[in-house]
Amino acid sequence: MIRHFLDLSDIDAVSLRLILDKAAALKAARAAGKPTPLLAGQKLAMIFEKNSTRTRVSFEVAIVELGGHALYLSGNDLQLGRGETVADTARVLSRYVDAILLRCHDHAKLKELAENATVPVINGLTEFSHPCQILADILTFEEHRGGIKGKTIAWVGDGNNVAQSYIQAAALFGFTLRIACPQRLGPLPEVVAWAKDRGGHVDILDSPQAAVENADAVVTDTWVSMGDPDGQVQARLLAPYQVNAALMALASPKAVFLHCLPAHRGEEVTAEVIDGAQSVVFDEAENRLHVQKSILLWCLSII
């Protein structure tokens, strides 16, 4: 069976923990200057239909440091951009490379690519989810606050793709997730139902103050995601959900602040918080690199 990395909900908790443990080991090896050529000669095709800094660069550096090569493919430059089918693109790329990463809007396109590829496909973000990001967040949280099981994470803001991967993670890693968002911008009910069916503790609230109370981490994301059709309306609805010092003061004094980046200071978070002592956002960004390596190793059955 091909090991695709499309959503956390497709992967068992033991494998996810293995990926995190390996990421921590790879981080230590890199810090010690030890080479890790575990994917020597392997090739990763990376298709981007949206902008990216972290996902693009961390995956490219990851495969290079593992001894392989990355091919950056802009969606517009590929024949995919002028009508070649997703299925044919999947079949052709599978003849050249060992794994394919896709960042696109429509989650169905990612699934179609995976259904037709004969190599692993990795979700580099869709409008539905961003699973690579959440593993980096958990690695970062655990470095600062210890095991995430039983802890309380507060998500404040849009119930978007990153929030939906958090919901899946809550069930798989056993943490409590409190989401504060305007009712119109809540996560998909089926995602919440999936987590609750598996015993996940996920609460959807209106009040950011209630969500953050004594939480071990406070997380937010941009008010307007790539491809969102009505940014002005979203920004107006989300204005009461800004993470600022007054809100952070309600969390545990040891709480960390997480944000997948890119951030908009003065909108979803104040500069005081994101540039303050509780913020671990640059560790979080760095950890994308270590986690991407580990995801590649898992997809290619090295771990």
Shortest separation between residue 255's beta carbon and ligand NVA, angstroms: 22
Binding letters toward ligand CP, positions 49-78, x by CB under 6 A: ---xxxx-----------------------
Q: Is 234 exposed, middle or buried (0-12, 13-18, 19+ CB in 10 A)?
A: buried
From ligand CP, ligand NVA, none, which one binds at residue 53 (CB under 5 to 8 Å depending on kind)?
A: ligand CP
DSSP letter for 279, please.
B
Q: Work out whether 260 is an interface residue with ligand NVA (CB under 6 A).
A: yes
Whether 91 is a known active-site residue: answer no
Q: Work out whether 116 is an interface residue with ligand NVA (CB under 6 A).
A: no
Q: Work out whether 137 is an interface residue with ligand NVA (CB under 6 A).
A: no
Closest of 263, 271, 277 to residue 244, by C-alpha: 271
Q: Work out whether 292 is an interface residue with ligand CP (CB under 6 A).
A: no
Q: What are phi and psi of 5, to 5 degrees?
A: -120, 80
3-state helix, strand, coil in the chain (%, to 5): 45, 15, 35
Query: According to CB under 6 A, which one of 42, 133, 225, 292 is a site residue for ligand CP?
Result: 133
Cβ neighbors of 14 (< 8 A, separation 6 or more) are: none
Whether 260 is a known active-site residue: answer yes
Q: Work out whether 234 is an interface residue with ligand NVA (CB under 6 A).
A: no
Strand partners, 121: 100
Number of neighbours of residue 70 by Cβ within 10 angstroms: 20
Kindly name the residue from 260, 278, 292, 299 that is annotated as catalytic.
Answer: 260
From ligand NVA, ligand CP, none, which one binds at residue 303 (CB under 5 to 8 Å depending on kind)?
A: none
The residue count of the chain comes to: 303
How many residues sit in the footprint of ligand NVA (CB under 6 A)? 9
Query: According to CB under 6 A, which one of 29, 205, 261, 303 is a site residue for ligand CP?
Result: 261
**CA atoms of 82 and 90, how far apart (whole Å):** 15
Strand partners, 180: 156, 205
**Residues taking part in catalysis:** 103, 130, 133, 221, 260, 288
Binding residues for ligand CP, per CB under 6 A?
A: 52-55, 125, 133, 260-261
